[in-house]
Amino acid sequence: MFKNYIKVAFRSLNKNKTYAIINILGLALGLAVTIMVFMFIKDETSYEKHWDGYERVYRTGIKASVMGQAMDAPVSPSPMAHTFRTKFTDVETATRIHTVNQEIMVRYEETKVYIQKAVQADSTFFKVFNYEFVQGDPKTALIGENSLVLTEESARKIFGDVNPIGKVVKYDNRSDYIVKGIVKEPKGHSHFQFDMFMSQNGIRNVWLMNNYYTYVKLKEGVDCNVFFKKMRRNFIKKIEPDVERILGSTVAELFKGESYYEYQIMPLKDIHLHSNREMEIQQNGNIMYIYVFIGIALLVIIIAGINFMNLSTARAGKRAKEVGVRKVSGASKKMLVTQFLTESVIQSFIALFLAFILVELFLPGFNNILETELYLFNSHIGETLVFSLIITLFYGLFAGSYPAFFLSSFQPIAVLKGDFTKTNGGALLRKILVITQFTASTILIIGMIIIFQQISFLHNKDIGFKGGQVIVVPIQTDLMAENFRNYKSIFLKNSNVLNTTRASFYPGDTPNQDMYILEGSKDLLPLWNMDVDYDFFNTLDIKMLDGIKFDREKESDSIPYFILNETAVKNLNIQNAIGRKLSISQGSSDNVNYGNIIGVVKDFHVEGFNSEIRPMVLTISNELWFASFKIANIDMTSTIDFIEKEWAKLEPSHPFRYTFLDQKFGKLLRQQENFGNMFLVLTILAIIISSMGLFGLASYTAQQRTKEIGVRKVLGASVPQIMKMLTMEFIKLVLLANVFAWPITYIFAKDWLSNFSYQIEMPIFPYILATLLAMLIALITVSFQAYQAAVSDPVDALKYE
């Protein structure tokens, strides 16, 4: 019996190839998308779970607003970890790290290697993050002064085949470190990824300076809320002496207004998806993308499932005879339901097989777009398989159930008489399903257009500087830093080097903040500062709005000179800025060295578009570690070669490194761009799947109405009239779908746009365009079938009655 079902299932598919292809391919695409989204989510939610006892680990943070200076960052003061370890009984251990935000040159004998991600860590680091040690002892590796632990890969780069343990390396040409341990790369993902760990032992007992990341591991069974309350109570007292000493006021006085200062904790496992604050160690994921992708996967599943149901029921007329014959041959309703469910499950599993092939084909592109490293047969393959089997079975049974019950309830007497056209049941349901499907597609189309409009808005936004022809070169030696101004002429000899300057950091990096005061005022001004060298504004093409640029000829070395940005002048309400005197606040100290404000520049972006431009002060300085060159737009390679050659003469100890400034800044937009691209791909897939379904459905509708069309033609209907009749039916459905799609999309799009500090006005254009697009897609898909039906010979249609 079962064999018969399977046999009929395959023959029936083989006989109706168009139907089979639409159904199975649509389902396979839907499954492929679902499986990939599952893999992506599995990967994104797997962060930190490889560390022993990760559920008990928390990272501390601070949310504060003090005198208009806001901070929301996962940072903590130097003594915090030590206090946890010594004063808190419910803490198992705590550790503190300080990331080195710059690549570091490590030298062993003649080998010079740049280490990308170095970190200074307390000796307890490996108690919280149990890296697997290949050599050395995790308990003692970071205890001594100047101890070093390397990953296997870094060790191989520096030492080759030499056993590194006990060897001394030179760090940044400054200090010596002894290698005490080699660790393996961790088995899973983390919110950090380090290549080198250096010991740090000193604790500066200042609670108001937050330069560290602190991780605390609680003892088993400790309630984190109880711990958290205790921690806040305890730590808020610690800042009192600092507030008095540095800010020159009491805590009570400080917090009486709108100011506040809160310590926070966040579970380690939540960091990757839920922490997108200032000063993250690296760009984290975003839970919103997870939700959006789940949403899309659901929409795609619904669209493909609807195809399946729609086509099966539409095809019912064709199979009605079979149902009748089987019934008069003795089949019970149950047997028929079983048969049709078997068929749909078989189809689903063929689709699953195809889906796995599609996943293999799509994954490289998927990884490329989302910058992930997913592959099908990874450590989650078991879960992926179980998930895809369940979803496939669900598809087969759920999507197959309606057609199964629908078909098996046919009365043999009706269908065996050849009167199939009367089996019009399910027409309303089919319409509802088509509307649902087009609602989903239209939501995706509108969403996609809005996302791309926003991204292109950010791209075309005036960022205030030009980074396309600027390369940034890190300075490695004190000698180079001290003498750079004298070396400038060496580089400018080449006429393709248009300009050169230095700065403490560049757009794309995170700025620092300090408190300033204006002469004659007591108010503290929180300003973000950037130290620059002469020619900075020329090199980056930043426009002056008022006053003059820094000029070596006109300045004395004894006093500082400042240039403010537009926002600083506006936000801090500094009237007649030029000529006024400004200084970094020295707290309660009276020894203030005021400098002159000599100019105001147009705003330029330093951070990404998630944050607004900050009030900024630029100061002239000679202690700068990043040079930059503006080079002509012709023959850039040889210009860079020239710079490299000259640079190597001046700084022979360190190999030359450079990055393009626009690439550095472009990284800030990348997450959004990736998201937009992924959305685009998934939208196109969803549209393909629903068009396939519509195509199939249109063909069956045309088939069902063959007789009607024949009669109409005999009575004198023209081909265009018949096409219009067949097409309008679907167009109406598509229009109705738009009525639902518009408000739904509006709500989601509004929410997404609110993530940006700079956003487009909610446009009406995507809604109209999407409606037109959906209609066009429907029209193209349906009109082909409608045309075929309309030009067919009415005699053929009528004589089969």
Partner 1 sequence: MIKLNELTKVYRTDEIESTALNAVSFEIKKGEFVSIMGPSGCGKSTLLNILGMLDKPESGSYKFLGNEVAHLKEKGRSEVRKKNIGFIFQNFNLIDELTVFENIELPLLYNKVPASERKQRVNELLEKIGIAHRASHFPQQLSGGQQQRVAVARALITKPPLILADEPTGNLDSSHGNEVMELICDLHEAGTTIVMVTHSSHDASYSDRIINLLDGQIVSEKKNKLVKAAI
C-alpha dihedral over 585, 589, 595, 597, to 10 degrees? 30
Minimum CB–partner distance for residue 12 and partner 1 (Å): 5
Minimum CB–partner distance for residue 337 and partner 1 (Å): 14
Only segment of 122-130, 202-210, 323-331, 588-596 that touches partner 1 (CB under 8 A): 323-331
Minimum CB–partner distance for residue 16 and partner 1 (Å): 10
Q: Considering beta carbons, is residue 328 or 728 the nearer one to partner 1?
A: 328
Q: Is 707 in the site for partner 1 (CB under 8 A)?
A: no
Q: How far is CA 40 from CA 178, 253, 284, 290, 374, in A?
A: 40, 50, 14, 8, 7
Q: Is 731 in the site for partner 1 (CB under 8 A)?
A: no
Minimum CB–partner distance for residue 320 and partner 1 (Å): 11
Only segment of 325-333, 347-355, 564-572, 607-615 that touches partner 1 (CB under 8 A): 325-333
Residue selected from 364, 418, 425, 468 as contacting partner 1 according to rule CB under 8 A: 418
Minimum CB–partner distance for residue 2 and partner 1 (Å): 10
Residue selected from 6, 168, 328, 389 as contacting partner 1 according to rule CB under 8 A: 328
Only segment of 307-315, 364-372, 414-422, 575-583 that touches partner 1 (CB under 8 A): 414-422
Only segment of 319-327, 426-434, 705-713, 764-772 that touches partner 1 (CB under 8 A): 319-327
Question: How many residues would you count in the chain?
Answer: 801
Residue selected from 168, 325, 361, 714 as contacting partner 1 according to rule CB under 8 A: 325
Minimum CB–partner distance for residue 428 and partner 1 (Å): 18
Q: Is 798 in the site for partner 1 (CB under 8 A)?
A: no
Minimum CB–partner distance for residue 324 and partner 1 (Å): 7
Minimum CB–partner distance for residue 800 and partner 1 (Å): 11
Cα(167)–Cα(171) distance, integer angstroms: 13
Residue selected from 4, 18, 201, 663 as contacting partner 1 according to rule CB under 8 A: 4
CB 742 within 8 A of CB 734: no
Residue keyed to tokens 């936004």 = 461
- The candidate with the shortest Cα–Cα distance to 137, out of 155, 122, 128, 149, is 149
Three-class secondary structure assignment of 626-639: EEEEEECCCCHHHH
Question: What is the torsional sign of CA 45, 48, 52, 55?
Answer: negative
Q: Considering beta carbons, is residue 330 or 716 the nearer one to partner 1?
A: 330
Minimum CB–partner distance for residue 417 and partner 1 (Å): 8
Q: Is 315 in the site for partner 1 (CB under 8 A)?
A: no
Cα(663)–Cα(671) distance, integer angstroms: 14
Residue selected from 110, 161, 225, 329 as contacting partner 1 according to rule CB under 8 A: 329
CB 713 within 8 A of CB 723: no
- The candidate with the shortest Cα–Cα distance to 91, out of 81, 78, 104, 102, is 81
Minimum CB–partner distance for residue 422 and partner 1 (Å): 12
Only segment of 11-19, 105-113, 578-586, 620-628 that touches partner 1 (CB under 8 A): 11-19
Only segment of 412-420, 604-612, 631-639, 666-674 that touches partner 1 (CB under 8 A): 412-420
Cα(773)–Cα(439) distance, integer angstroms: 13
Residue selected from 24, 27, 299, 331 as contacting partner 1 according to rule CB under 8 A: 331
Minimum CB–partner distance for residue 799 and partner 1 (Å): 13
Minimum CB–partner distance for residue 755 and partner 1 (Å): 55
Residue selected from 96, 217, 272, 326 as contacting partner 1 according to rule CB under 8 A: 326
Minimum CB–partner distance for residue 416 and partner 1 (Å): 6
Burial of 161 (0-12, 13-18, 19+ CB in 10 A): exposed
Residue selected from 330, 579, 652, 743 as contacting partner 1 according to rule CB under 8 A: 330
CB 138 within 8 A of CB 131: yes
Tell me the pairing of strands 104-108 and 168-171: antiparallel
- The candidate with the shortest Cα–Cα distance to 471, out of 284, 662, 314, is 662
Report helix, strand or coil for 199.
Answer: strand
Q: Considering beta carbons, is residue 325 or 632 the nearer one to partner 1?
A: 325
Size of the site for partner 1 (CB under 8 A): 26
Residue selected from 180, 327, 605, 654 as contacting partner 1 according to rule CB under 8 A: 327
Q: Considering beta carbons, is residue 1 or 715 the nearer one to partner 1?
A: 1
What's 138's DSSP letter?
T
What's 779's DSSP letter?
H
Q: Is 140 in the site for partner 1 (CB under 8 A)?
A: no
Residue keyed to tokens 């995507």 = 766
Residue selected from 208, 279, 290, 416 as contacting partner 1 according to rule CB under 8 A: 416
Helices of type H across 371-501: 381-394, 400-408, 412-416, 427-460, 478-492
Binding mask 15-54 for partner 1 (x = CB under 8 A): x---------------------------------------
Cα(246)–Cα(73) distance, integer angstroms: 21
677-714 as b/e: b if 16+ CB within 10 A? bbbbbbbebbbbbbbbbbbbbbbbbbbbbbeebbebbe
Residue keyed to tokens 């085949």 = 161
Residue selected from 209, 361, 413, 780 as contacting partner 1 according to rule CB under 8 A: 413
Continuous segment of H or E residues that includes residue 608: none
Residues 332-371 that bind partner 1 (CB under 8 A): 332-333, 335
What's 505's DSSP letter?
-
Q: Is 290 in the site for partner 1 (CB under 8 A)?
A: no
Q: Is 425 in the site for partner 1 (CB under 8 A)?
A: no
Minimum CB–partner distance for residue 19 and partner 1 (Å): 13
CB 450 within 8 A of CB 702: no
Report helix, strand or coil for 68.
Answer: coil
Q: Please give the structure tokens belonging to residue 528.
A: 């973000």
Only segment of 10-18, 267-275, 420-428, 583-591 that touches partner 1 (CB under 8 A): 10-18
CB 136 within 8 A of CB 68: no
Q: Considering beta carbons, is residue 19 or 58 the nearer one to partner 1?
A: 19
Q: Please give the structure tokens belonging to residue 197.
A: 């760990």
Residue selected from 412, 474, 655, 794 as contacting partner 1 according to rule CB under 8 A: 412
Cα(519)–Cα(670) distance, integer angstroms: 42
Cα(371)–Cα(44) distance, integer angstroms: 12
Q: Is 411 in the site for partner 1 (CB under 8 A)?
A: yes
Minimum CB–partner distance for residue 779 and partner 1 (Å): 34
Only segment of 261-269, 324-332, 546-554, 687-695 that touches partner 1 (CB under 8 A): 324-332
Minimum CB–partner distance for residue 333 and partner 1 (Å): 8
Minimum CB–partner distance for residue 378 and partner 1 (Å): 41
Q: How many other C-beta atoms are found inside a 10 Å radius of the C-beta of residue 460? A: 8
Q: Is 7 in the site for partner 1 (CB under 8 A)?
A: yes
Please list, in sequence order, all residues whose beta carbon lies within 8 angstroms of the beta carbon of residue 215, skipping any fewer than 6 positions away: 57, 58, 59, 60, 81, 94, 95, 96, 97, 128, 129, 268
Minimum CB–partner distance for residue 425 and partner 1 (Å): 17
Q: How many other C-beta atoms are found inside a 10 Å radius of the C-beta of residue 154? A: 24
Cα(248)–Cα(587) distance, integer angstroms: 6
- How far is the first Cα of the chain from the last one, in angstroms, to the nearest whole number? 34
Q: Is 8 in the site for partner 1 (CB under 8 A)?
A: yes
Q: Is 475 in the site for partner 1 (CB under 8 A)?
A: no
Q: Considering beta carbons, is residue 349 or 420 the nearer one to partner 1?
A: 420
Enumerate binding residues for partner 1 (CB under 8 A): 1, 4, 7-8, 11-12, 15, 321-322, 324-333, 335, 411-413, 416-418
